[in-house]
Amino acid sequence: MSTSTVGHAVDERTYAAYSRPLWWRVVMTREFAMIVLLGVVYLWATGNVASFDGPLALYYLFLDIAPILMIALPMTLIIITGEIDLSVASTMGLSSVLVGIFHADLGLSIPAAAVCALAIGTACGALNGVLVGYVGLPSLAVTIGSLALFRGIAGGLLGTEAITDYPEQWTDLAKERLFGPVEGGYSGGWLGPVTEPASYPLVLVPIVVLAVVFGVLLHATSFGRGIYEIGLNEQAAKFSGVDVARTKLLLFAIAGAVSAFAGVYYTLRFGSARGDNAEFLELQVIAAVLLGGVSIFGGRGALPGVLAGVLLIGIVSSALRLEDVSSNVINIVIGVLLVLSVISTSLLAWISGLRVARTKSDHPTKGNQR
């Protein structure tokens, strides 16, 4: 994984790139392209899709993509190290089932049940982390195993039953609007124009907090630099003092914790704990992260692009659903978007390589045909 990345990474850091002004380097990135694309698609949808500009559209959109937004944050960090975590949705399903069982069968309050589920989710993630970081197994194999393992435990605990009895105050909280619905209109204040009722669900608050924490962690700490170093060249990272095993353990444990939190939210939002909750959500998370410009080979990517990627997938599927497009076609569109975005990066790297070879510029010729 990391060997094929090196050539590209060096390319990424040539001085030519840094000879441009800062604003130019910010604007000419994959992340910025995603954000612009997101804006364009949003404006297009607002103008062309009936009822996309309605007060409910953004509210439901954020409710729907909230779990993906949450889990995409740690997933980005994991993929930047060159690893992957396929077990997140299973951890989510397990946490959902655990909240139900702790609450209904053991009589714990919802917060207590949620804390227990979070602890177990963290342990699930830590198990992945130990196997990947300290034992040194490939994360693809480990997390395919734990995907089946955690899902199996979730299914085994509840069978085909569902636990659907939760206090209303908690299920309402999961769907609460920021500042609550206000009779006869709502002043959006700094959040935007006056809409009624408020378009932003409360769940955005923990998401924004998490996004800021992960953003700072990845982009402004030495731990975050270590994450990129591991993805670029694990050996070099080790020699330059990055504790690779500990970093991976931490990242997987955090992913487990965030997935468990998403599971609690999911349970309360749908008022239903089932063993098959959130099945296949891991694929949507990984798709969004890759669409957001994170390299599957590790070492490259940034959080703003990922957030834009998640929002883009959310807006596209919401707009298409509003146009009565069937779920199969929506999957096809998202799939094509993803493949195009991945192809475009590789294809252009290749074209650019040809051009460099032809003009014999200062760059050494690179194959870059992946």
- Region of 117-125, 185-193, 219-227, 317-325 interacting with another protein (CB under 8 A): 317-325
Comparison of 149 and 272: residue with beta carbon closer to another protein:
272
3-class DSSP state of 110 = helix
In the list 274, 275, 289, 311, the residue contacting another protein (rule: CB under 8 A) is: 274
> Taking CB under 8 A as the criterion, which residues in 275-294 touch another protein?
276-279
CA quadruple 256, 272, 274, 83: dihedral, nearest 10: -20
Comparison of 28 and 220: residue with beta carbon closer to another protein:
28
Q: Residue 97, interface with another protein (CB under 8 A)?
A: no
Q: In the chain, which ranges are continuous DSSP H helix?
A: 2-12, 15-18, 22-27, 30-48, 55-80, 88-104, 110-129, 139-158, 168-175, 204-219, 222-232, 234-239, 244-270, 281-291, 303-322, 327-359
- Write a three-state SS string for 190-233: HHCCCCCCCCCECCHHHHHHHHHHHHHHHHCCHHHHHHHHHHHC
Q: Residue 46, interface with another protein (CB under 8 A)?
A: no
Peptide bond into 197 cis (omega under 30): yes
Q: Residue 243, interface with another protein (CB under 8 A)?
A: no
> Taking CB under 8 A as the criterion, which residues in 347-366 touch another protein?
347-349, 351-352, 355
Q: Residue 41, interface with another protein (CB under 8 A)?
A: yes
Q: Residue 204, interface with another protein (CB under 8 A)?
A: no
Binding site for another protein (CB under 8 A): 11-12, 14, 16-17, 20, 28-30, 32-34, 36-37, 40-41, 44, 48-52, 54, 56-57, 60, 63-64, 159-162, 164, 171, 175, 266, 270-272, 274, 276-279, 316, 318, 320-329, 333, 336-337, 340-341, 344-345, 347-349, 351-352, 355
